[in-house]
Amino acid sequence: MSTTSAPQSAEPAHASSWLAHFPITLFATVMGTTGLAIAWHKSAQVLAMPHGVGIGLSYVALALFVLLLLGYGAKALRYPGELRAEFNHPVRISFFPAISISALLLSIAFLHVQPVWSQAMWWGGITLHLVFTVVIMSSWIHHTHYQIQHSTPAWFIPVVGNILVPIAGMTHGSPEISWFFFSVGLVFWIVLLTVMMNRFFFHPPVPAKLLPTLFILIAPPAVGFLSYLALDGGVIDNFARVLFYVALFTTLLLFYQIPQFRKVPFFMSWWAYSFPLAAITIASLTMGSKIGSGFLMGLGGALLALTSALIALLVVLTLKAIGDGKVFIPE
């Protein structure tokens, strides 16, 4: 009797600890912040904006990353059962690669600021992300509990990480490694896009809490465009145009849905707005500068202002939610 009663008595302590409910989704804050830093780096190159903003944001994102790693590491040591439960969750499992994606984004942000750090984060990021991709895709293939309602745009997160690799990879690693990850990301983006379209067209709508994750649809083609340029020497060819304009159309389509998004109260899922908007900002500035388009340059500048204001708002709302005890709680 004593062996069965001990775990039962320990469960309320787990449930009452904020550390036990340290959410993996918090790493989306690093993705958004680092994406904004990279957008400011690009704006400094093509719009003559201050270099210090991007550099400062890069260090803020790095500090946030380290803080979250320490917090989630403490949770893993203190409450391994809670970590396993989160990893087995059909939606939250897709946010674990946000850790490796954060490392990859930081490697881009520090590419010309701290090259040694950038290289270390790139190698660590690709190694961890490959593990996450294989394990998560295996769980999709051999699942016993997934249903179509569990599929959300968050499933793109493992894929987006693969597409990111060449941006810093062409500086730090073998071109073949970069092509490997880009190929995996590109092909499975198309596969998952088909799954998502089936889910949207023929099944119940995405729950309101997860509605902001629709913005993740922008990221694969926008990041794919940037990575393809890195792989192809920066040349704007027909395939680069396809990737960019798909990203631009997806952004337009989602902006048309703003009345629906405005109805959604704040959840941590709002951070799903941040990185995709940063990605299309960088893509627009890059495309505009490459083809000499004043319209796209202006669009990139407007998106930079919007993304900066949005992330500032998200920071305020997140801190308020933490203060109100609405973040470190059971789902």
pLDDT over 60 (residue 19): yes
pLDDT for residue 9: 38
Query: Which of 63-67, 130-134, 206-210, 321-325 is predicted with the least confidence, judged by mean pLDDT?
Result: 206-210
pLDDT over 90 (residue 99): yes
Q: What is the mean pLDDT of residues 223-234?
A: 95
Q: What is the mean pLDDT of residues 58-74?
A: 96
Could you tell me the residue ranges of all domains in the chain? 12-139+148-323
Tokens read off for 127: 């190694």
Q: Over the chain, what HEC string results?
A: CHHHHHHHHHHHHHHHCCHHHCCHHHHHHHHHHHHHHHHHHHHHHHCCCCHHHHHHHHHHHHHHHHHHHHHHHHHHHHCHHHHHHHHCCCCHHHHCHHHHHHHHHHHHHCCCCCHHHHHHHHHHHHHHHHHHHHHHHHHHHCCCCCCHHHCCHHHHHHHHHHHHHHHHHHHHCCHHHHHHHHHHHHHHHHHHHHHHHHHHHHCCCCCHHHHHHHHHHHHHHHHHHHHHHHHCCCCCCHHHHHHHHHHHHHHHHHHCCHHHHCCCCCCHHHHHHHHHHHHHHHHHHHHHHHHCCHHHHHHHHHHHHHHHHHHHHHHHHHHHHHHCCCCCCCC
pLDDT over 60 (residue 268): yes
Question: In this predicted model, which residue has the larger pLDDT, 287 or 269?
Answer: 287
pLDDT for residue 5: 42
pLDDT for residue 162: 94
Query: Which of 1-15, 93-107, 202-216 is predicted with the least confidence, judged by mean pLDDT?
Result: 1-15
pLDDT for residue 18: 86
pLDDT for residue 321: 92
Query: Which of 16-20, 47-51, 176-180, 290-294 is predicted with the least confidence, judged by mean pLDDT?
Result: 16-20
pLDDT over 90 (residue 7): no
pLDDT for residue 263: 86
pLDDT for residue 274: 94
Check: CB of residue 154 under 8 Å from CB of residue 95: yes
Question: In this predicted model, which residue has the larger pLDDT, 277 or 91?
Answer: 277
pLDDT for residue 205: 81
Is the domain 12-139+148-323 a CATH 1.20.81.30 member?
Answer: no
Q: What is the mean pLDDT of residues 42-56?
A: 94
Confidence of residue 226 (pLDDT cuts 50, 70, 90): very high
What average pLDDT does the chain have? 89
Place of tokens 């989704």: 25
Q: What share of the chain in percent tops pLDDT 70?
A: 93
pLDDT for residue 250: 96
Question: In this predicted model, which residue has the larger pLDDT, 6 or 62?
Answer: 62
Could you read off the pLDDT of 165-212 as tens digits, one per residue?
A: 999 999 997 899 999 999 999 999 999 899 888 888 888 888 778 888
Distance CA 105, CA 164 (A): 8
pLDDT for residue 201: 84
Count of residues making up the chain: 331
